[in-house]
Each structure stands twice: as C-alpha cells, then as structure tokens.
C-alpha cells in the first residue's frame, strides 16, 4: 500500500485574498482618511453593539410579554375553572334542594336548616329564598357570615325578592325561570346592602307544574375573594365586570382618587355557567420587563454613549495630533531646508564627544563628507595635526559645558590640508524628557571676516594716528546733548576732555544755542537743520582763546554722527605764530613805508637843499640889501616894508617846503579817509616839483573834473605818485635828453573795467629811455635797482600800497615803431560808489 502523503494544509485562499485586498485598500487611503476609518470603525462597532443589545432586549421583552400573556391566560382559565366548578356544584345542590322542596321533603318551616347547611359552606351565598308561583315568600335565609346579621330586614330582602307588579331583575329572572323551567342566572344588580349580586333561580316543579323558585343570591365580591386562587390574585389583578365593562369587584382595592394603571395584558372570559354577561378579567402588569425602566438597558446605553463620546473625543484628539504632526513635519522640513541652505556649519556630538550629525554646510566648509565625520571620536579629521592639544583642551571644555557664550576661535583644517579660521558656538542638546544627550556646535568660517576686521582695525588705527598726530584740535560735539563725542590729542592737550573748549572755539556759544539759531528750519524729526549740513558754518574764523593766549583758525562743520545724532565738528589750527608774523610784517611794512619816505627825502635832500637855498639866498640877499641900505640910510620906509614883505614871503616859502616834507615823513599809521584825487595830486606834485625843477623836467598834469571820492590813505598814494614822478625824472635826467624831450605827463581819469568795476586811473608817462628787458621782470622786486645810489624798494612798496588799497599797478614801454620813446606807469584805485556821492558833496 502506498503511504498516503498528507499535503500541508493550504492557506485558506479566501481569507488571504481578503487580507491582501484590505491591505492594499488601506494603504491607498490618505493618512487622514485612515485616521477617520480607524476612529469610525470602533464607533460603528459600538453603535452596532448598542443596536444588538436593543434588539436583544426587544426580543426578550416580547418573549416575556408572550410568557406573561400566557400566564395571564392560564391564570384566567384557572380562575374561571374554579368559579365554574363552584357555581355548577352550587347549582346542583340547589336543584337537589329544589326537588326536595317540590316533593315536600322540605317544608317552609324546615327550610332554614338545609339552607343554613348549604350556605355555611358557601360564603358567596348571601340569601336563600323560596317563593311560590304567585311570588309569595315561603321561606328565606340570609347568610350571617357575610353581614353579621342573623335576620335581614324585610326591606333589604325585598330588593332581592321578586315582587308582583314590579319590574326588576328578580322579577325578570323569575319570569324567565317560569318560562324555561330551567335554572336561570340573573344579570348583576345592587342588592339592599349596596353589594353587587346576581341570582340563580331554580324552578320548583311539582308534577310538571311550576310551583315557584328557589332563589340563591351570589355576592360577586365573595366569589372573587374566595374562589380566585391566591397565587393568581398575587400575580395579577382579577376583576369581575358586567357586559358594559363596569367593574363589579376586584382583587385590588383602589384608594379614593387613585387612577387604575392601564394594564398591558388583559384577558377576559365569561363567568360560566352564569351566562348573564358577567366576565372574569385578569390583568397583567409588566413590572420587570419595561424597556425604559430596565437598569441593565440603561447601563448598557450609558456605557455605549460614554464609549461613543470617548471615541469622538479620541477622534478629535487624533485630528489635533494629526494637525500637530503636519505642523511638525512642515516645521521639520522648513528647518531642514534652512539648515541645508545656511552657511553655518552644524555638528552634533554625544556626551562622549562622538560626532552624531553634521550638516551640509559643515561638510562644505571642511571638505569632509558625512561618512568621514559621523561616528568619529576625537581627534577629529578637521583638527590640524599640530593643534591636537589645543583642540583637545577646547573639546574637554566644551564637553564640560564651560565654553564661553561668545564662542571660541579655532583654526580648522580642510580635507586638502588648508587651514581656515572658524568661530564655534556650543549649546547643549536636550531630548524631550529634558535630559541632555550631547552638544550642538555651530561653526562659521571667519577667515574673511577676520581679514576685514584686521583691515578695519588697521585703517582705524591709521585714522586715529593721523587724527592724534594732527597739530590741529579736532572735536565733535553733539548738538542736542552738548556732549563731547570725539576729541583728538591736540584738543585734549589744550582744553582737556571737556566740551568747554569746543564752545570757546565755536565762538563762546554752547551747541544747543547754535541749534537754536536754526529756529524754525530745524525739523522736529532728527533735529537736523534742513539746510545743507556740510555747508553750515564752514567759513573759517579766527578765534582768540584768552586762557591759552592763542589764536585759532576754526572751521566748523555739521555732520551726522555714527549713531545718527547731529553733531558739530570743529577743526582748530593754532595760528598764533602766523598771526604774530603777520602783525610783525604789518608793523615792518609800516616802518618800511616811513623809511622809504625818509629815503626818498634823503635822495631828494640835495634837491630840497637846492630848493631851500633859493628862498634862504633870497632872504639873505634881501636882508643884506636892507642892512646896507639902512646903514646908508638910503632906504625909504615903503621900500623897506616891501623888502621885509618879500623876505617874509621867502621865509614862508621855505617853511612851507619843510612843513610838506614833515607832513610827508611824519605820519606812520596808515589811515584811510575820504580823499579827493585832485588834492593828492596837488600835494605830491608840490613835493615832486622840487626834484623836477632841479632836473629840469617839465610836468604836464591833467586831472578829470568831478572825480568820485576815494577811500584811501592820501599820504601813501602821494608817496606812490612821488615815487613814480621821481623815477620818471631820474630816467629822463640819466638819459641826458635834450630840453624839448624832458617831459612828464600825469593824468588822472575815471575808468570802468570789466574785472575791476569803477576805478580812478593815475598814469605817469615819461619820455625817457623806457624799461630795459631785464628790468621788466624784476621791477617790483625789493632791493632791485639799476641806479648806483638806488635802494630798489620804491616800486615794490608802491605795489604793496596799491594792492593794499585793492588797486593794480602796471608798467609798459611806449614805442614809436620799434624804438622805445618812453615808459608809462599807471595804477588804479577802486571807487567805493556807495559812499562816494555823499562824501563828494561833503568835500566839495
Ligand atoms: P630805485 O629808484 O631806487 O632804483 P625803484 O624800485 O624805484 O628803485 O626802481 C627800480 C628800477 O626800475 C630802477 O632802478 C630803474 O632801473 C627802473 N625804473 C623805474 N622807473 C623807471 C622809468 N620811469 N624809466 C626807466 N626805468 C625805470
């Protein structure tokens, strides 16, 4: 026999397929949808569970209801059976009794005994009555145990007895019995005691003759009380109702005002064999099966609601979590993008110093890739080999958390071995539980920054050195606060580190006062004057500082300070020595002018002596003449007077010459005053005339009419004119020209030139040999002279005098063809038009 090979149980293909299908479907769903399904699944199961519980309850309830109905029906039937048996049995007894009465075995007076015997065992019987066919009462018996009455009153009995000529229930029953000759039950009625009762009338048949009825009255209430089994009445409410559903008796007594609960199960059966419309009703109350009052149901419902509520809460929570997760993911992406894009290198280490992470910037910076670095323990590949010790020390410091907050500067090495400067900042890495797991180091390449910084500091140093080395005091004062923002060494040396010096240089005004000068033009925003800052107050001023006894050339400038504040910068240069030199030069110039005048006079001394000689000789001659004529007594008084007058005149002439020379020489301080050109010309020609006459040179003067007033020092201008005229005369004299050519012309005319404006031009033209080539270039040079006795300071002084009056002096040769026929010196003096007219009128 072949051994049967049992194949391994194949996997159930159906379940596998379903699993796979579900798996693919599930994976296709979006995460939010998965979440929704994951939440809705339990929710739906809870709802299904609740529905199952409800249907189970429903089913059980129906089941119980059916059982209850069954039990009610059964109980009803039991009760009916009991009552029926009892009634039938009583009916048979009554029929027997009725027969005995008919056969006269029982006489009316012997009725009580069998009646009592009958009623004793039957508490439902209230009365037993015997009436004949004519409705006469033969005998009656009232049950005592019902009413505690041995004898009923006739009136009460009357209600139950059929009476002739009365239409009541007993009468109608009697008639029916008479006709049917058969025991008949009456419909229920209220007897004389107010109880619901019904009668059974049994016909008395005596030889086929109707001889009356035996009437038994049943109490409905007693029937219910005695013949409904106790277990039935305990379970249910049993009532007897008439054909109109009126309750005649019940096992449950309602309190007055109490409303009967509507029964859920009702079962009616006729109260056989009475057949008089009475019905037995049994009502069942579902006490334990009410759905609403079922505790278990409510517990389940409450638990289900709680579960649903919690599921919904979970769902909401999950949705929130999902949102947070999404935010987290985008945050992570954002951070990663940021981290990848930034230039700062990041390196994470665990607590032992092992590299756990490096970002792309770190790799780019060092040239190593992630594999080279991650997992590496110190010494790291980017440490320069000659700096292991230093780097190790820094790392230990880092691991102990003692790195300075401002970062540390290190040298790092690239993969190719080149070095760069880096700055590293360290911060602890903390996990979500608050436990430190390592260190995060950020690294920036500061080679370029360091180079720039070094350059900057070098340039700053240069700048400071220059500023500090300046002989000028440089200070910057904030305009609003009056605070000294900068002061160089010279400033500190002269004024100390205080703003007072700045104020003194600024003209004794404090800076806020300077600001006040701007008034409305200062806008309220930055306190900056709206006018151009760099131009504000940039005019140089010369300031004397009393405390230092120094003169300063001060240049002020407004500028915006590095913090945006408006500041005033002053550059004060010590010009004391220059000032002193200038003063000295001026004093010397004055002295030179006086000296020059003295020299001129010295040069003219022989001419002056010659000039003075004439009047003195004349005086001597007059005096000698007069003396001899007086001695000889040959003079008449009028002649003497005439001679004396002539003598005085000559003396006066000599005195005038001396006065002029004194006036010309004496004045030393230059003083400008309104002067008329004609007066200046007259004075200088008077002096020059001495020289001209001696040298036999003729002077022709032309002065234009109504010339404007000049604001000049007349003595200095006279000096210039005298010099020019003297030079001209000397030139003519030295050339030894014949008399017709010994001429000088002096012209004074007003002119207007484009570059000088209105001027008065003085021109001295001579007919001399002119200026030689080599002389023209050095004409105004001091101490340049072609003359043997010449000092050569005349023309240089002339130029400085004219230029100090803002005029111009020039010299040129006059030509006739190629021959020089003379030379012309001319100078101009500006006319101060504003004052001139008024002065002119005042002087003329
Ligand atoms: P000084 O008269 O003492 O020589 P100046 O300064 O007055 O000094 O003159 C300088 C020189 O200019 C003279 O030496 C002379 O050579 C020349 N010079 C001045 N005026 C004339 C002139 N009118 N004609 C020719 N040469 C002149």
Q: Look at residue 717 in the predicted model and tell me its pLDDT.
A: 92
From residue 506, alpha-carbon distances to 360, 562, 626 in Å are 60, 21, 78
Token digits for 187?
Answer: 């419909």
Percent of residues, the chain, with pLDDT higher than 90? 13
Q: Look at residue 682 in the predicted model and tell me its pLDDT.
A: 92
Atom of ligand 1 at shortest range from CA of 766: 23
Compute the average pLDDT of residues 510-521.
44
Compute the average pLDDT of residues 560-586.
89
Ligand 1 centroid from CA 731, angstroms: 8
For the Cβ of 727 lying below 6 angstroms from any atom of ligand 1, the answer is yes
The residue behind tokens 């609960």 is 261
Q: Which of the residue ranges 94-98, 269-273, 509-513 has the most confident prediction, judged by mean pLDDT?
A: 94-98
Compute the average pLDDT of residues 813-831.
92
Ligand 1 centroid from CA 755, angstroms: 28
For the Cβ of 823 lying below 6 angstroms from any atom of ligand 1, the answer is yes
Terminal CA-to-CA distance of the chain, rounded, Å?
173
Residues 6+ apart with CB under 8 A from 625: 643
DSSP 536: T
pLDDT tens-digit series, residues 324-338? 988 999 999 998 888
pLDDT tens-digit series, residues 357-410? 888 888 888 899 888 889 888 888 888 988 888 888 888 888 887 878 788 888
Atom of ligand 1 at shortest range from CA of 791: 3
Q: Which CATH class is domain 452-574?
A: alpha beta
Token digits for 526?
Answer: 């930055």
Atom of ligand 1 at shortest range from CA of 797: 6
Atom of ligand 1 at shortest range from CA of 825: 23
Token digits for 640?
Answer: 């003497």
Q: Which CATH class is domain 72-252+262-283?
A: alpha beta
Report yes or no: 355 and 348 within 8 Å, Cβ to Cβ. Answer: yes
Ligand 1 centroid from CA 659, angstroms: 27
**Over 70: is that where the pLDDT of 662 sits?**
yes
Atom of ligand 1 at shortest range from CA of 789: 3
For the Cβ of 820 lying below 6 angstroms from any atom of ligand 1, the answer is no
Token digits for 603?
Answer: 């040069």
pLDDT tens-digit series, residues 238-284? 888 888 888 888 887 777 776 766 777 888 888 877 777 888 888 87
pLDDT tens-digit series, residues 1-17? 444 444 555 556 678 88
For the Cβ of 38 lying below 6 angstroms from any atom of ligand 1, the answer is no
Q: Look at residue 747 in the predicted model and tell me its pLDDT.
A: 95
Q: Is domain 670-843 in CATH 3.20.20.80, yes or no?
A: no
**Over 90: is that where the pLDDT of 69 sits?**
no
Atom of ligand 1 at shortest range from CA of 795: 6
Report yes or no: 199 and 217 within 8 Å, Cβ to Cβ. Answer: yes
Longest dimension (CA), the chain: 254
Atom of ligand 1 at shortest range from CA of 727: 20
pLDDT tens-digit series, residues 425-461? 888 888 888 898 888 888 888 888 888 988 999 998 9
Q: Select from 839, 804, 486, 440 the least CA-distant residue to 676.
A: 839
Q: Look at residue 8 in the predicted model and tell me its pLDDT.
A: 52
Q: Look at residue 327 in the predicted model and tell me its pLDDT.
A: 92
Percent of residues, the chain, with pLDDT higher than 70? 89
- pLDDT confidence band for 809 (50 / 70 / 90): very high
**Over 80: is that where the pLDDT of 803 sits?**
yes
Atom of ligand 1 at shortest range from CA of 728: 23
Domain ranges of the chain: 72-252+262-283, 306-341, 344-445, 452-574, 575-668, 670-843
- pLDDT confidence band for 76 (50 / 70 / 90): confident
DSSP 708: P
Token digits for 215?
Answer: 């009437």
- Report cis status (omega within 30 of 0) of the bond before 379: yes
**Over 60: is that where the pLDDT of 520 sits?**
no
Q: What is the mean pLDDT of the chain?
A: 83
d(CA 105, CA 204) in angstroms, rounded, equals 12
Compute the average pLDDT of residues 162-170.
85
Token digits for 386?
Answer: 């000659």
For the Cβ of 728 lying below 6 angstroms from any atom of ligand 1, the answer is yes
**Over 70: is that where the pLDDT of 417 sits?**
yes
pLDDT tens-digit series, residues 464-509? 889 888 888 999 998 888 888 889 888 998 888 888 888 888 875 4
DSSP 529: B
Task: Please state the separation of Cα 588 from the chain's center in Å.
Answer: 73
**297 or 292: which carries more pLDDT confidence?**
297
Instruction: Record the pTM.
Output: 0.41
- pLDDT confidence band for 827 (50 / 70 / 90): very high
Q: Which residues pair with 478 in a beta bridge?
A: 567
d(CA 80, CA 74) in angstroms, rounded, equals 10
Ligand 1 centroid from CA 726, angstroms: 9
**What SS3 class is residue 752?**
strand
Q: Look at residue 153 in the predicted model and tell me its pLDDT.
A: 62
**Over 90: is that where the pLDDT of 814 sits?**
yes
Q: Which residues pair with 545 in a beta bridge?
A: 550
For the Cβ of 795 lying below 6 angstroms from any atom of ligand 1, the answer is yes
* Burial class (CB within 10 angstroms; exposed 0-12, middle 13-18, buried 19+) of 5: exposed
Q: Select from 231, 251, 207, 240 the least CA-distant residue to 80.
A: 240
Ligand 1 centroid from CA 765, angstroms: 13
d(CA 802, CA 596) in angstroms, rounded, equals 15
Ligand 1 pocket mutation, candidates 785, 796, 826, criterion most atoms within 8 A of CB: 785
Residues across the chain:
844
Rounded to the nearest 10 degrees, how much is the dihedral formed by the CA atoms of 714, 716, 721, 726? 140
d(CA 90, CA 639) in angstroms, rounded, equals 225
For the Cβ of 766 lying below 6 angstroms from any atom of ligand 1, the answer is yes
pLDDT tens-digit series, residues 676-715? 999 999 989 988 888 898 889 999 999 999 899 999 988 8
Ligand 1 centroid from CA 785, angstroms: 6
d(CA 383, CA 576) in angstroms, rounded, equals 64
Q: Look at residue 512 in the predicted model and tell me its pLDDT.
A: 46
Ligand 1 centroid from CA 759, angstroms: 25
Return the number of other C-beta atoms located less than 10 Å from residue 533's C-beta. 17
- pLDDT confidence band for 743 (50 / 70 / 90): very high
Ligand 1 centroid from CA 722, angstroms: 13
72-252+262-283 and 452-574 share one CATH topology? yes
Compute the average pLDDT of residues 750-767.
91
Ligand 1 centroid from CA 768, angstroms: 11
Q: Look at residue 797 in the predicted model and tell me its pLDDT.
A: 85
**Right CATH for 344-445 from 3.40.50.300, 3.30.450.20, 2.60.120.620, 2.40.110.10:** 3.30.450.20
Report yes or no: 524 and 515 within 8 Å, Cβ to Cβ. Answer: no
Ligand 1 centroid from CA 614, angstroms: 29
Ligand 1 pocket mutation, candidates 727, 731, 741, 767, criterion most atoms within 8 A of CB: 727
Report yes or no: 624 and 617 within 8 Å, Cβ to Cβ. Answer: no
Name the residue at shortest CA distance from atom 20 of ligand 1.
727
DSSP symbols for 429-464 = EE-TTS-EEEEEEEEEE-HHHHHHHHHHHHHHHHHH
Ligand 1 centroid from CA 719, angstroms: 15
Ligand 1 centroid from CA 704, angstroms: 27
Report the interhelical angle of 605-631 vs 677-694 (nearest 10°): 70
For the Cβ of 775 lying below 6 angstroms from any atom of ligand 1, the answer is yes
Which ranges of 139-229 would DSSP assign to H, the alpha helix? 144-147, 154-160, 169-180, 220-227
From residue 142, alpha-carbon distances to 109, 125, 149, 321, 762 in Å are 15, 8, 8, 91, 188
Angle (CA) 352 356 358, round 5°: 130
Ligand 1 centroid from CA 796, angstroms: 10
Atom of ligand 1 at shortest range from CA of 784: 10
d(CA 377, CA 380) in angstroms, rounded, equals 6
Name the residue at shortest CA distance from atom 11 of ligand 1.
785
Ligand 1 centroid from CA 685, angstroms: 19
Q: Look at residue 822 in the predicted model and tell me its pLDDT.
A: 92
pLDDT tens-digit series, residues 549-558? 889 999 888 8
Instruction: Kindly provide the b/e burial profile for residues 491-503, where b requires at least 16 CB atoms within 10 angstroms of the residue's own CB.
Output: beebbeeebebbb
Name the residue at shortest CA distance from atom 27 of ligand 1.
771
Ligand 1 centroid from CA 727, angstroms: 6
For 497-600, list the strands marked E by DSSP.
541-545, 550-560, 566-574
For the Cβ of 782 lying below 6 angstroms from any atom of ligand 1, the answer is no
Name the residue at shortest CA distance from atom 15 of ligand 1.
786
* Burial class (CB within 10 angstroms; exposed 0-12, middle 13-18, buried 19+) of 68: buried
For the Cβ of 786 lying below 6 angstroms from any atom of ligand 1, the answer is yes
Name the residue at shortest CA distance from atom 21 of ligand 1.
727
For the Cβ of 776 lying below 6 angstroms from any atom of ligand 1, the answer is no
Atom of ligand 1 at shortest range from CA of 603: 3
For the Cβ of 785 lying below 6 angstroms from any atom of ligand 1, the answer is yes
**Over 80: is that where the pLDDT of 93 sits?**
yes
d(CA 571, CA 637) in angstroms, rounded, equals 85
* Burial class (CB within 10 angstroms; exposed 0-12, middle 13-18, buried 19+) of 558: buried
Ligand 1 centroid from CA 86, angstroms: 190
Q: Look at residue 245 in the predicted model and tell me its pLDDT.
A: 83
d(CA 177, CA 329) in angstroms, rounded, equals 104
Rounded to the nearest 10 degrees, how much is the dihedral formed by the CA atoms of 423, 428, 431, 434? -160
**Over 60: is that where the pLDDT of 535 sits?**
no
Q: Which residues pair with 279 in a beta bridge?
A: 241, 270
Q: Which residues pair with 237 in a beta bridge?
A: 283
Return the number of other C-beta atoms located less than 10 Å from residue 136's C-beta. 11
For the Cβ of 600 lying below 6 angstroms from any atom of ligand 1, the answer is no
Report yes or no: 71 and 288 within 8 Å, Cβ to Cβ. Answer: no
Q: Select from 211, 226, 295 the least CA-distant residue to 79.
A: 226
Q: Look at residue 750 in the predicted model and tell me its pLDDT.
A: 93
Compute the average pLDDT of residues 650-664.
84
Name the residue at shortest CA distance from atom 19 of ligand 1.
727
575-668 has which fold? Helix Hairpins (1.10.287)
For the Cβ of 768 lying below 6 angstroms from any atom of ligand 1, the answer is yes
Name the residue at shortest CA distance from atom 8 of ligand 1.
792
**Over 80: is that where the pLDDT of 314 sits?**
yes
Ligand 1 centroid from CA 786, angstroms: 7
Q: Look at residue 45 in the predicted model and tell me its pLDDT.
A: 87
**What SS3 class is residue 250?**
strand
């Amino acid at each position: 026999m072949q051994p049967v090979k049992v194949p391994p149980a194949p996997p159930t293909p159906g379940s596998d397929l379903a699993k796979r299908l579900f798996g693919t479907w599930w994976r296709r769903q979006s995460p939010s949808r998965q979440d929704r399904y994951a939440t809705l699944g339990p929710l739906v199961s809870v709802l299904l569970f609740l529905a199952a519980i409800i249907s189970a309850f429903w089913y059980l309830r129906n089941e119980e209801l059916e059982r209850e109905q069954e039990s009610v029906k059964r109980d009803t039937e039991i009760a009916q059976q009991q009552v029926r048996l009892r009634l039938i049995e009583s009916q048979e007894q009554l029929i027997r009794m009725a027969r005995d009465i008919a056969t006269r075995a029982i006489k009316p007076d012997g009725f009580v005994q069998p009646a009592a015997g009958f009623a004793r065992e039957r508490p439902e019987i209230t009365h037993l009555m015997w009436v004949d066919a004519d409705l006469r009462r033969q005998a009656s018996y009232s049950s005592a145990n019902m009413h505690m009455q041995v004898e009923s009153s006739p009136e009460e009995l009357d209600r139950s007895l059929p009476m002739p000529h009365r239409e009541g229930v007993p009468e109608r029953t009697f008639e029916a019995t008479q006709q049917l000759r058969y025991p008949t039950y009456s419909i229920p009625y209220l007897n004389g005691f107010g109880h619901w009762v019904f009668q059974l009338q049994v016909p008395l048949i005596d030889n086929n003759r109707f001889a009356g009825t035996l009437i038994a009255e049943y109490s409905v209430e007693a029937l219910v009380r005695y013949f409904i089994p106790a277990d039935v009445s305990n379970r249910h409410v049993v009532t007897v109702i008439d054909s109109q559903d009126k309750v005649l008796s019940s096992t449950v007594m309602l309190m007055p005002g109490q409303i009967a609960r509507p029964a859920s199960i009702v079962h009616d059966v006729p109260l056989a064999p009475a057949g008089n419309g009475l019905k037995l009703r049994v009502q069942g109350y579902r006490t334990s099966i009410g759905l609403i009052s079922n505790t278990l149901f409510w517990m389940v419902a409450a638990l289900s609601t709680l579960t649903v509520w919690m599921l919904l809460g979970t769902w909401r929570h999950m949705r929130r979590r999902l949102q947070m997760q999404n935010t987290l993911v985008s945050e992570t992406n954002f951070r990663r993008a940021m981290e990848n894009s930034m230039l700062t290198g990041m390196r994470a280490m665990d607590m032992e110093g092992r590299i756990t992470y490096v970002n792309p910037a770190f790799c780019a910076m060092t040239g190593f890739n992630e594999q080279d670095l991650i997992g590496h323990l110190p010494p790291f590949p980017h440490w320069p080999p000659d700096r292991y010790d230093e780097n190790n020390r820094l790392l230990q410091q880092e691991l102990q958390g003692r790195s300075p907050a401002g970062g540390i500067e290190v040298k790092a090495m690239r993969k190719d071995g080149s070095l760069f400067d880096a700055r590293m900042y360290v911060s602890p890495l903390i996990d979500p539980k608050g436990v430190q797991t390592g260190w995060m180091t950020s690294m920036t390449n500061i080679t370029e920054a360091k180079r720039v910084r070094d350059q900057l500091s070098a340039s700053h140093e240069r700048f400071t050195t220059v500023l500090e080395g300046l002989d000028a005091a440089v200070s910057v004062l904030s305009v609003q606060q009056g605070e000294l923002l900068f002061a160089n060494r010279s400033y500190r040396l002269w004024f100390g580190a205080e703003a007072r010096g700045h104020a003194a240089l600024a003209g004794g005004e404090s800076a806020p006062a300077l600001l006040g000068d701007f008034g409305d033009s200062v806008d309220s925003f930055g306190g900056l004057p709206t006018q151009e800052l760099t131009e504000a107050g940039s005019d140089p001023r010369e300031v004397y500082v009393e405390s230092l006894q120094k003169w300063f050339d001060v240049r002020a400038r407004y500028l915006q300070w590095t913090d945006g504040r408006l500041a005033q910068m002053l550059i004060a240069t010590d010009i004391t020595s220059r000032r002193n030199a200038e003063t000295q030069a001026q004093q010397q110039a004055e002295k030179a002018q006086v000296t020059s005048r003295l020299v001129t006079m010295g040069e003219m001394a022989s001419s002056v002596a010659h000039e003075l000689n004439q009047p003195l000789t004349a005086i001597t001659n007059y005096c000698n003449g007069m003396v001899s004529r007086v001695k000889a007594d040959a003079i008449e008084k009028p002649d003497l007077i005439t001679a004396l007058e002539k003598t005085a005149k000559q003396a006066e002439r000599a005195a005038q010459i001396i006065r002029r020379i004194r006036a010309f020489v004496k004045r030393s301080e230059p003083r400008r005053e309104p002067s008329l050109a004609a007066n200046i010309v007259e004075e200088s020609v008077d002096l020059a005339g001495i020289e001209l006459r001696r040298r036999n040179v003729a002077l022709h003067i032309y002065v234009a009419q109504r010339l404007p007033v000049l604001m000049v020092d007349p003595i200095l201008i006279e000096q210039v004119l005298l010099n020019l005229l003297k030079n001209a005369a000397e030139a003519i004299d030295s050339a030894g020209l014949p008399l017709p050519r010994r001429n000088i012309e002096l012209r004074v005319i007003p002119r207007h030139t484009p570059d000088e404006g209105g001027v008065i031009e003085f021109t001295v033209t001579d007919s001399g040999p002119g200026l030689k080539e080599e002389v023209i270039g050095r004409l105004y040079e001091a101490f340049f002279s072609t003359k043997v006795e010449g000092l050569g300071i005349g023309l240089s002084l002339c130029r400085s005098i004219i230029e100090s009056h803002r005029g111009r002096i020039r010299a040129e040769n006059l030509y006739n063809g190629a021959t020089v026929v003379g030379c012309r010196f001319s100078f101009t003096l500006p006319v101060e038009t504003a004052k001139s007219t008024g002065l002119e009128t005042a002087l003329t």
